[in-house]
Amino acid sequence: MKKTNTFKRVLAFVLVCLMAVSLVSCVGGSGGEGTIGIVMPTKSLERWNRDGSYLKKEFEAKGYDVELVYADNDVAQQVNDIENLIAGEVDLLVIAAVDGESLTNVLEGAKEADIPVIAYDRLIMNTEAVKYYVSFDNYTVGKLQGQYVIDTLGLKLDDTSKTYNIEFTAGDPADNNAGFFFNGAFDTLKPYLDAGILKCVSGQTAFTQVATQSWSTDNALSRMQNILGSYYSDGTVLDIALCSNDSTALGVSKAIESDYAGSNQPIITGQDGDEANLANMIDGKQSMTVYKAVANEAVVTLNLAISILEGKTPNGDLITESGWDFACAYDTESYDNNTGKIPSYLLVPTVVTKDNIQKELVDTGYYKMDGNYPKAIG
Ligand code: GAL
């Protein structure tokens, strides 16, 4: 009798322990083990600081160790960073490339060491080491910028009574995204250029002519100063400066402030929701930005990485299984890195203007107001 009671007690204890263990693992998700190498391009552009800290936070919260490195926009430094992480035997690499074409050799090492690589935000070209790509729908970013111009000016293809002058500023040719952004915007506006409703006075409409090395604000500033000096100093009105992102929009805004002879404020587009640009939007110096919730990009990367590390081959099911409260598409067609199509998880970008900053950025918890201007919570 006594023996049976003791046995029952032990059994009950074991059951309680088992329940406690399974409860903890349910609540906490799979406790991660190992080290994640997170390789970011530069601290000099605001968004990458936010990406780095969100990614670090997400992985550490799941129990992973994180090595976070920034390359100062320098290819050699980034190659060196990756070499060190491979030598340190990280378990997985998340890489936003400085130059998408320059990591082929170094990533051979990752392949040999069986370290899976996720291309983060920017696709890495010419390497089989990249298994997955996480980004936003880059072409749509450009489309939203182009459509904003059409909607704001109320352009109609059958109404050629009023024409508008436009100049384009695109991103870094080393960044595979830059062409997608530019093409999205240009394809959307092309019918209006063809109809003569939009006129590019400088004639610079090819990506190679309008690209901005390193996405640099200073490069965008000096190119726009040249354009304003060469084509607009006689009083020609500039109506639209289509800029692919906020760092270039900042340079273009500065050029307009210092070198534009006209008195109108041209429409200026952007991307990222950088603090300086949001302040410019509130002050009427920039019209819109395309916001990409990088906090969610980090969540997708985390769930994808966990699945890979668990030995699975993630596909579209990851989206339903993860139960994200934001939209994300699984795309196996759009991104080819020259070794084949790379399965991609693409999040959805949002247009932000002065009028919906509160709703889209502050109420969502991404920024807080600091006086009149939003500051990112990172
Ligand atoms: C792109 C990125 C943009 C922007 C730009 C400049 O690759 O998608 O959001 O930040 O780089 O860094």
Binding site membership of 167 for ligand 1 (Cβ less than 6 Å): no
Query: Confidence class of residue 354 from pLDDT cuts 50, 70 and 90?
Result: very high
Is the confidence at residue 297, as pLDDT, over 70?
yes
Distance CA 34, CA 356 (A): 41
How many angstroms is it from 158 CA to the middle of ligand 1? 35
Mapped onto helix, strand or coil, the DSSP state of residue 131 is strand
Atom of ligand 1 nearest to the CA of 136: 8
Residues of the chain with pLDDT > 70: what percent?
92
How many angstroms is it from 313 CA to the middle of ligand 1? 28
Looking at residues 70-83, what average pLDDT do you find?
A: 98
How many angstroms is it from 21 CA to the middle of ligand 1? 43
Looking at residues 113-135, what average pLDDT do you find?
A: 98
Query: Confidence class of residue 30 from pLDDT cuts 50, 70 and 90?
Result: low
Cβ atoms within 10 Å, residue 180? 24
**Burial of residue 284, with CB atoms counted within 10 A of its CB: 0-12 exposed, 13-18 middle, 19 or more buried:** exposed
At residue 121's C-alpha, the angle toward residues 362 and 295, to 5°, is 30
Residue 207: predicted pLDDT:
98
Atom of ligand 1 nearest to the CA of 45: 12
**Quick one: CA torsion of 230, 236, 237, 238, rounded to 10 degrees?**
-20
Binding site membership of 45 for ligand 1 (Cβ less than 6 Å): yes
Binding site membership of 99 for ligand 1 (Cβ less than 6 Å): no
Is the confidence at residue 114, as pLDDT, over 50?
yes
Distance CA 248, CA 50 (A): 18
How many angstroms is it from 209 CA to the middle of ligand 1? 19
Each residue's pLDDT tens digit, 252-273:
999 999 999 999 999 999 999 9
How many angstroms is it from 124 CA to the middle of ligand 1? 14
Query: Confidence class of residue 348 from pLDDT cuts 50, 70 and 90?
Result: very high
* Contact in structure between 268 and 286 (CB atoms under 8 Å): yes
Distance CA 333, CA 21 (A): 42
Residue spans per domain, the chain: 35-136+293-347, 139-271
Evaluate whether 35-136+293-347 and 139-271 have a shared fold: yes
Looking at residues 73-94, what average pLDDT do you find?
A: 98
Binding site membership of 50 for ligand 1 (Cβ less than 6 Å): no
Each residue's pLDDT tens digit, 360-376:
999 999 999 999 999 99
Is the confidence at residue 18, as pLDDT, over 70?
no
Query: Confidence class of residue 21 from pLDDT cuts 50, 70 and 90?
Result: very low
At residue 208's C-alpha, the angle toward residues 203 and 212, to 5°, is 100
Each residue's pLDDT tens digit, 92-110:
999 999 999 999 999 999 9
CA-closest residue to ligand 1 atom 9: 272
Average pLDDT of the chain, as a whole number? 93
CATH 3.40.50.2300 fits 35-136+293-347, yes or no: yes
Is the confidence at residue 24, as pLDDT, over 90?
no
Q: Which CATH code is given to the segment(s) 139-271?
A: 3.40.50.2300
Is the confidence at residue 22, as pLDDT, over 90?
no
Binding site membership of 47 for ligand 1 (Cβ less than 6 Å): yes
